Amino acid sequence: MTMNAISNTRQQIIDTALQLLMQRGMNGFSYRDISEPLGIKNAAVHYHFPSKAKLVKSLIRESHQALRKGTAEFMAYGGPARPQLEGLFEFTLKQCECGRPVCVAGALSVDFEELSKGTKEALNRFMMDTLDWFTRVLETGREQGEFQFNGNARNKAISIMAMIQGARQFARIHGHKALECTFEQIRTDLGIES
């Protein structure tokens, strides 16, 4: 009824839907799956997000903003690189533990062809922003002697981000050990003593 109530429901819908998207993929949940745990009806969800396509686009935007916030605080640009890498590992582990086994990009890559052009672009921008941040972490780390690796930092960033995304999916199938093994291997590949 008040502004708070409005934003509150909207935010709860986003939170629930994001969880469902990461757990089951875009075609694995319905408006009913969102509304039921919130104690509302599916028509109420349609009020806030008229179509599922718009809802998914909002979920990408939400994840993107969360990343910007994360890189601005917890994973601040410009600081020492090693804690930022470890922060990324911790973030990933925490996501998996709180019921978000795969990331948004991983989930949506499966449904990619169904997405509208604008949604595809939003997803691509989200990925590019993540890569920009992580490329910088790697460059800084190498300059400051925290990391050792050969070759182009961008390639290395792509390969490590891909590795983490793939590892989350491995972990879902084969257990969380796959995640820890992967983190350990990334450290080894960067010449970090563990």
Contact footprint for a copy of itself (CB under 8 A): 23-25, 27-28, 101-102, 105-114, 120, 123-124, 127-128, 149-151, 154-156, 158-159, 161-167, 169-170, 172-174, 178, 181-182, 184-186, 188-189
What is the residue whose two structure tokens read 């939003």?
122
**Binding site partner of 11, from a copy of itself, DNA, none, Cβ cut-off 5-8 A by kind:** none
Question: Among 136, 132, 103, 125, which residue's Cα sits nearest to residue 25?
Answer: 103
Cα 29 to Cα 42: distance, rounded to the nearest angstrom: 12
Q: How far is CA 62 from the centre of its chain?
A: 10
Secondary structure of residue 194 in the 3-state scheme: coil
- Pick one of a copy of itself, DNA, none as the site partner of residue 51 (Cβ within 5 to 8 A by kind): DNA
111 vs 129, beta carbon nearer DNA: 111
Q: Measuring CA to CA, how many Å separate 82 from each of 1, 85, 131, 147, 152? A: 47, 5, 17, 8, 18
The partner in contact with residue 89, picked from DNA, a copy of itself, none with C-beta cut-offs of 5 to 8 angstroms by kind, is none
How many angstroms separate the CA atoms of 108 and 85, rounded? 25
Partner that binds at residue 76, options a copy of itself, DNA, none, CB closer than 5 to 8 Å by kind: none
Classified as helix, coil or strand, 33 is helix
Nearer to a copy of itself, 13 or 20 (CB): 20
Compare residues 55 and 153 and give the one whose CB is closer to DNA. Answer: 55
Which residues here bind DNA, judged by CB under 7 A?
A: 1, 5-6, 9, 29-33, 35, 39-44, 46-48, 50-53
Smallest distance, DNA to C-beta of residue 143, A: 48
Q: Select 41 or 177, whichever has its Cβ closest to a copy of itself.
A: 177
CB of 4 to a copy of itself, least distance (A): 34
Q: In the chain, which residue ranges form alpha helices assigned H by DSSP?
A: 3-24, 31-38, 42-48, 52-72, 81-97, 104-110, 117-143, 153-174, 177-189
CB of 127 to DNA, least distance (A): 24
Helix axes 117-143, 52-72, angle to 10 degrees: 20
* Residue 67 binds: one of a copy of itself, DNA, none (C-beta under 5 to 8 A by kind): none
